[in-house]
Amino acid sequence: MAENTVKLLIVEDDYALNDTVKETISDLGEVVQVHDGDEGWFEIESGVYDAVVLDVMLPGQDGFTILKKAKEQFPDLPVLMLTAKGEIADKMQGFDLGADEYITKPFYKEELLARLKTLLRHTGVLGQDGALEVGNVQIYVDQHKVLVDDTEVSLQGREFGLLVYLVQHVGQIVTKDQIFDRLWGFDSDTSLTVVEVYMSNLRKNLRQAEAQVNIKTLRNVGYTLSATTEE
């Protein structure tokens, strides 16, 4: 899978289980692991993740507290709760707070992967049959391929990840900071201006390919992508 096209977060204090979950879902995209609730909320608050696998019993803030805040701030963020508790009351509490899925330990790896894939498709992060579409543009995430009117367009470096991120949030505003954190990471030594360079190159390539999409700059706010129609 293309680098950084999907970004997932695991919040689980059991290090071995955290690693198992990462191994299970790593083919879906980039996976970030944290092991306590406070760090988990710090990561979620950045707004750069496509889905979260969240344990209930955590050091610091517990999973239900994090879930409640996450759904208030990012109502469309898919959250899959992972817990050793099997009581129906605990599951109902999770669903009442907005959990999208709930898996009880121990679990089958195949089930976890299938449920997470379903959540990502429902939110448009993964297209049906692997394709994302906007205007006359089709993006095949698994194949790292972009088509405009059935003609393949070559995108260099992180241009592909940038286009995918914008299309995954079509019609929404994404900030320069969110793009940077998503594609380069919090700890990158690269300057924030690299976003403008890649955005300029992406626009040029899409314009040359006659893509029916428009990337609008909202000064001091961010960018938004929308479909256009032929005149």
Which residues are CB-neighbours of 222 under 8 A, at least 6 positions away? 173, 174, 175, 176, 178, 179
Higher pLDDT, 190 or 73: 73
Higher pLDDT, 62 or 123: 62
Burial of 21 (0-12, 13-18, 19+ CB in 10 A): buried
Assign 60 a pLDDT band (cuts: 50, 70, 90): very high
pLDDT at 20: 95
User: Once rounded to an integer, what is the mean pLDDT over residues 66-75?
Assistant: 93
H/E stretch holding 225 reads strand 222-227
Cα 31–chain centre separation: 10
pLDDT at 129: 62
For residue range 74-90, list pLDDT tens digits in order.
988 999 998 876 666 77
Rg (CA), the chain: 18
- pLDDT higher than 80, residue 188: no
Pick from 223, 188, 190, 182: nearest CA to 7: 182
